[in-house]
Copies of this chain bind each other. A is one copy, B any other.
Amino acid sequence: MNPCSSVLLTDLYQLTMVQAYIEQGMMDTAVFELFVRRLPAQRGFLMAAGLEQVLDFLERLQVSPAELEWLKQTGRFSRSCLDYLETLRFSGDVHAMQEGTVFFPNEPILRVTAPLPEAQLLETRIMNLLNFQTLIASKAARSVLVAGEKPLIDFGLRRAHGAEAGLLAARASYLAGFAGTSTVLAGMEYDIPIYGTMAHSFVQAHKDEKTAFEHFALAQPKNAVLLIDTYDTEAAAHKVVALAPGLKQEGIMVKGVRLDSGDLADHARKVRRILDEGGLPQAQILASGNLDEYQLQRLMASGAPIDSFAVGTAMTTSADAPSLDCAYKLQEYAGRPCRKRSEGKATWPGPKQVYRQYHRNGRCDYDVVTTVQAPGAGDPLLHPVMTGGRRLAPAQRLTELRQRAATQLAILPDSLRSLEGGHPYDVRISQPLQDLAQAVDECV
């Protein structure tokens, strides 16, 4: 069973509502939008990601015979509901921000326009996909901003929340500017560069560390990156130096060493000196071990001679903010705009567009959220991506999305490029949208 493609990966209430809609003949067109209500603490911006997986899900959407049979035997669903589900395909339109786009609270990043039961049923999985990848791309972008030109590698699979989280975290972090991942399947599925060295167990399985290093270098002559903190980091660096001449005779250059514990800046300085004095100036230092963007910032500021960083759990789980306050809300049904007014959770009604305005220096200045009918100035951020259930263009390559993300980070205002986030970005609600909200409230 592959949970990633099952229509039943949804909340039960989606099905109970679908049944009620069918029984009442409420099959008119609905408009839902997905947006984030508030930024997590310590975030100045978010980066949209996950659209590709949403479109893929919508294109393939289908209830399998086994799923239909199971639904039937629960006794919960009417014949008309089951008949509807049996032939269900997604027939609607989708507008979205392209992946890699930077966005802010109250800005829709996805709009679904479809018959009400279809648009409703999809809510759970659309949120599940966009919440997660946007969360990870937004977190990873922070490390990218801090690390500058130094390559970052995703090492997070083991503590990712399950299989799909590990795979999609590799994708989202690469999109945001990471150089690659240790997750092999992400290499196969998404053509992301894969990286890997050795584990402590490799050293432990050998009677001595030096033999372990030698065996690894012989097996990986082009990728001889040696993990040197299993017992004593500096002693291991000396062993690497002692081994290097023999390996050189075999045509093997020591490509680098990995540090995974202790005071990484201090070890890096000591190890760098040992390697340089030992005739291995080309050997690079990779640091790993519970890193996040704050530790990266400290290590960068310390001037420690570290060439690249592996970031794992903190990024893959977005540890300081493991979810977004996102919502997928009905904005219009049968041509009638609507909004929710629940305490602390009110929404802006109707289908919307977001326009971005730039400073003369090319940096983002402010955004305007407005109705789709109102005229807007600047770059519209939502684009049509699917019509009648079919994509308007083939999937973009991940390298293109990555390029867009890099451009987006480059044009962020300086205040949003720091880890603290600075002043909130200016998101304006247009007068036409405010008027519409008032008109809707007066109708209820």
Contact = CB atoms under 8 A, between A and B. Distances in A.
Contacts of A229: 342-343
A57 to B, nearest CB: 10
Interface string A321-345: 0111010011001001011111111
A163 B166 contact: no
B157 A3 contact: no
8 contacts: A2-B2, A12-B183, A12-B194, A13-B198, A16-B196, A128-B160, A261-B345, A262-B342
A330 B163 contact: no
Contacts of A317: 161, 317, 322-323
A313 B323 contact: yes
A17 B213 CA distance: 11
A403 to B, nearest CB: 24
A32 B120 CA distance: 47
Interface in A116-160: 116, 120, 123-125, 127-129, 131-132, 155, 157-160
B199 A123 contact: yes
Given A4-B2, A15-B184, A342 B260 contact: yes
Interface in A178-200: 182-185, 187-189, 194-200
B162 A13 contact: no
Nearest to A260: B342
Given A166-B9, A215-B24, A159 B128 contact: yes
Interface of A: 1-4, 6, 8-17, 19-21, 23-24, 26, 30, 32, 67, 70, 74, 76, 78, 116, 120, 123-125, 127-129, 131-132, 155, 157-169, 182-185, 187-189, 194-202, 204-205, 207-208, 215-216, 218-220, 223, 229-232, 260-262, 313, 317-319, 322-324, 326, 329-330, 333, 336, 338-345, 444
Given A70-B188, A128-B163, A230-B341, A201 B330 contact: yes
Given A162-B128, A261-B344, A329-B201, A218 B23 contact: yes
A185 B9 contact: yes
A330 B134 CA distance: 36
A59 to B, nearest CB: 15
A128 B167 CA distance: 12
Nearest to A199: B13
Nearest to A201: B330
A158 B127 contact: yes
B3 A163 contact: yes
Given A182-B12, A330-B205, A199 B163 contact: no
A183 B13 CA distance: 9
A78 B70 CA distance: 46
B15 A344 contact: no
Contact of A201 (B120, B167, B188): B120
A174 to B, nearest CB: 14
Contacts of A24: 215, 219
Contacts of A338: 204-205
A11 B125 CA distance: 27
A219 B81 CA distance: 10
Given A120-B199, A162-B162, A20 B182 contact: no
Given A4-B3, A158-B124, A162-B165, A340 B219 contact: no
Given A260-B342, A342-B200, A219 B20 contact: yes
Given A16-B223, A128-B160, A165-B165, 10 more contacts: A8-B185, A11-B155, A11-B158, A16-B216, A20-B218, A128-B163, A159-B326, A204-B338, A208-B444, A319-B323
A3 B198 contact: no
Most buried by B among A23, A125, A131, A336: A131
A211 B26 CA distance: 12
B157 A10 contact: yes
Most buried by B among A6, A157, A161, A223: A161
A215 B26 CA distance: 11
